[in-house]
Amino acid sequence: MKKIALCTALALGLGSCSTLSRSSDAPPAPLGPTPTQAQVDWHRLETYAFIHFGLNTYNDLEWGYGNTPASTFNPKILDVEQWVTTLKRAGMKGVILTAKHHDGFCLWPTKTTDYSVKASPWKGGKGDLVKDLSEACRRHGLKFGLYLSPWDRNNKDYGFDGYRKTFHEQIRELATGYGELFEYWFDGANGGTGWYGGADSARSINPKTYYGYHDAGDILRANNPNIMIFGGTEPTIRWVGNERGWAGQTNYCAYDVEREKHHTANQWGMQDGATWLPAEVDVSIRPGWFYHHREDHQVRSVANLVNIYYESVGRNANLLLNFPIDLEGKIPATDSTNVIAWYEHLQRTFANNLVQGARVEAKDSRRGKTFAPDHLIDGSDKTYWATVDGVHTAEVLIRLPKRTAINNIMLQEYIPLGQRIDAFELETADATGAWSPIETRDSLTTIGYKRIVRFNTVDTDALRLRITKARGPVCLAEIGAYLAPELIEAPKAWRDAEDRLIARASGGEQQLFYRVNAGPWQAYTQPVHLPGDQLQVEVEARGTRGEQRVATKLPLGYSAKRFKVIGIGDKERRALFDGNGYSSVTLPNHSHELAINFDEALPISKLVYTPNQSRDASGHIQQYELYLDDELVAKGEFSNIRNNPIPVEIILPKSILARRLRLVATRVVEGRPYVSIGDLSIF
């Protein structure tokens, strides 16, 4: 049972009953731009999935040129049921399919071009992936949306007036033939080189005028009146300005596209914007948008996905999480396992709202039950608490039923009346009743549809929200407090070229410890000088609440200070042995040989080669020869290094004493004329 104190003692600093004389029975007037009901419903979806699949999948491409043979699209298994059931288990509310990417290949049997599934061997040219997926979504209660690239690198008429008719007809087919669509994507990549029906040329256009987006929007809305449109000249939602999975800590729903000076402004929105244009965060669960076997070891971890949730949905944006479909026509096992575990963690976090049963006390409330503070904890964003007109700062005190541990606070404004809060503060009471501000790495500025603030776990029996700046009467819909379970993953650890042990936690409330050669554990707080050879290091992450502990084992070879690399500078030498596969070295002058002198004769038993870990990296060594003191001691092949560029080992049958090592690349992936190395370790 909720107990509400509308008038509180002056000792609490929350005013007196006399404030009620200034209140009103009427709701506050809307402030600034406000969302349509369709936009409000879109906000409530919070998370939904992107699917990238097509010719690019089977040709190891991200952007096809437009001349890839349609015959290469021939999935032996294409399990849309697996897609949809996986995504539903992951809490996704809808699915958006890339029906046509920039290469122009259509995943439905369009009448506008032969460059589609009609010309592929899949299902004898009778397949329709848009139909299959839309029907699967509806069977399982998920919303369905589509992506159609305006840019078409296959169409001979692209860049000329004739293509506009084709483009609009494709929209018409998709908007009328596959049931109601909740969202439609017009990508922002426009014009450039392409096959263009054999012209093999470059074409440029003005996207604001060329595509006829106004007419395109009319076609979409005719059968989908509540559709959200991404991109084009008449969007109802906006790109967040990056593809890395985060919105700005300050994030306004208002935005004016015509005032945009740089696309990164989308990350924050505009306080004084005239249009309600909320942000959508699009990010892939892998480095690429389409599937590449070489990225199988780079799937986002559960902890990384949790962080993305807090920095997107928790910052007043929706999350569009991409899933590349693999060569088997499925969401890969690691991807599905991680995203389901991600959702289960979020469910455990937000299942129990710790403010239920609390007593709420508020200052300057409007008159009557319609705007009473008890709406802040009633579990509905359709009701709200509001202050009287003229009051643009406010305080809310929540006295919990008992002292409890919390590390998350969730806030929601009542957005049908606009977004109006610009700054707020959060405080908790200690055992003596003294108030302390919550220490968080996020700036406490905007709230909007939803804001989730993370912080280290505190024990408290009272919370205080102080709205310090608002542009009108405060209209707040919900307050929640939660205790997220510990989420500890194995820490990352490496030794760099200066013999420093560097360790990184995956995030959350944890402490790092390390030990060398099974010695005593020591706290890790900063890089540790760790000279020496052939060390066995362990780095352990321990949850501060004692629920979890996970260790990483780090075998270390010889110190890089014992090496002199022939033909490269000191900066490159440090990058070669820094333990970081992303800071790569390309051998100079197209050399295929790396020579290293040791400071004295050393027994050598193993070499570990890490390919460049950057996205779409090249120059990987495929076949090699290893020499010690100019004697060939090993030769072979790093099998499948192109598709699976993970660290690989050359292990010698026995240790060999040597003062010089040469690694020769006798073959480079794809015949590239250069060799790129992410990292080397010598044992």
pLDDT band, residue 616 (cuts 50/70/90): confident
Cα separation of 248 and 263, whole Å?
13
pLDDT at 361: 97
Percent of the chain with pLDDT over 70: 96
Q: What confidence category does residue 88 fall into, taking pLDDT thresholds of 50, 70 and 90?
A: very high
Average pLDDT for 285-293: 95
User: pLDDT, tens digit, for every residue of 646-673?
Assistant: 999 999 999 999 999 999 999 999 999 9
pLDDT tens digit string along 187-237?
988 999 999 999 999 999 999 999 999 999 999 999 999 999 999 999 999
Block residue for tokens 């710790």:
354
88 vs 351: CA distance, rounded Å: 18
Question: How far apart (Å, rounded) are the C-alpha atoms in residues 37 and 259?
Answer: 25
- Amino acid 15: pLDDT: 36
* Among candidate residues 641, 636, 639, the one with its CA nearest the CA of residue 664: 636
Mean pLDDT of the chain: 94
DSSP secondary structure, 389-417, as one string: TT---EEEEEEEEEEEEEEEEEEEE-GGG
> Could you tell me where the beta strands, DSSP code E, fall in 353-483?
359-362, 385-386, 394-413, 421-429, 435-437, 451-470, 475-482
Quote the pLDDT of residue 126.
98
> What phi and psi, each to the nearest 5 degrees, are found at residue 132?
-60, -45
321 forms bridges with which residues in the sheet? Answer: 49, 283
Among left, alpha and beta (phi > 0; psi -120 to 50; other), residue 235 is beta
Q: What is the pLDDT of residues 365-419, one digit of tens each?
A: 999 899 999 999 999 999 999 999 999 999 999 999 999 999 999 999 999 999 9
User: 107-110: long-range contacts at Cβ-Cβ below 8 A with a sequence spacing of 24 or more?
Assistant: 107/53, 107/54, 108/173, 108/174, 108/177, 110/170, 110/173
Domains along the chain with CATH numbers: 3-30+352-482 (2.60.120.260), 46-332 (3.20.20.80), 492-556 (2.60.40.10), 560-682 (2.60.120.260)
Helix (H, G, I), strand (E, B) or coil at 255: coil
CA–chain centroid gap for 579, Å, is 25
The total of other beta-carbon atoms located within 10 Å of residue 522's CB is 12
Please return the burial class of 184, using the count of CB atoms within 10 Å of its CB with bins 0-12, 13-18 and 19+: buried
Q: Which of 519, 511, 517 is CA-nearest to residue 537?
A: 517
Q: How confident is the model at residue 360 (pLDDT cuts 50, 70, 90)?
A: very high
Rounded Cα distance between 554 and 541, Å, is 14
Helix (H) or strand (E) holding 679, with range, is strand 679-682
pLDDT in tens, 33-68: 999 999 999 999 999 999 999 999 999 999 999 999
Report the pLDDT value the prediction gives residue 527, as an integer from 0 to 100.
98
What CA–CA distance (Å, rounded) separates 471 from 389? 11
Q: What pLDDT does residue 17 have?
A: 35
| C-alpha–C-alpha distance, residues 81 and 135, integer Å | 10
* DSSP state at residue 170: H
* 87 and 144 Cβ atoms separated by less than 8 Å: no
Burial 309-347 (b: 16+ CB within 10 A, else e): bbbbbbbbbbbbbbbbbbeebbbbebbbebbbbbbebbe
> What is the model's pLDDT at position 2?
35
Q: pLDDT for 170-182, tens place per residue?
A: 999 999 999 999 9
In the block, tokens 């554990």 appear at 521
Q: Is 70 exceeded by the pLDDT of residue 9?
A: no
Q: What is the mean pLDDT of residues 538-561?
A: 94
Mean pLDDT (whole number) for 517-523: 98
Confidence check: pLDDT of 120 > 80? yes
Residue 208 per-residue DSSP state: H
Q: What is the pLDDT of residue 18?
A: 32
Classify burial at 433, counting beta carbons within 10 Å of its beta carbon; exposed 0-12, middle 13-18, buried 19 or more.
Answer: exposed
Q: What is the pTM of this model?
A: 0.88
- Tell me what the mean pLDDT of segment 344-361 comes to: 97
What pLDDT is stored for residue 20 in this prediction?
Answer: 38
Residue-wise pLDDT for 445-497, tens only, equals: 999 999 999 999 999 999 999 999 999 999 999 999 999 999 999 999 999 99
Half-sphere exposure of 528 (CA within 13 A, CB side): 18
Element (H, E) at 342: helix 333-350
pLDDT in tens, 266-277: 999 999 999 999
Give the pLDDT score at 10: 31
Structure tokens that stand for 245 in this block: 């999975």
b/e per residue 378-393 (b: at least 16 CB within 10 A): beebebbbbbbbebbe
Average pLDDT for 130-158: 99
Question: What pLDDT, on the 0 to 100 scale, is given for residue 640?
Answer: 83
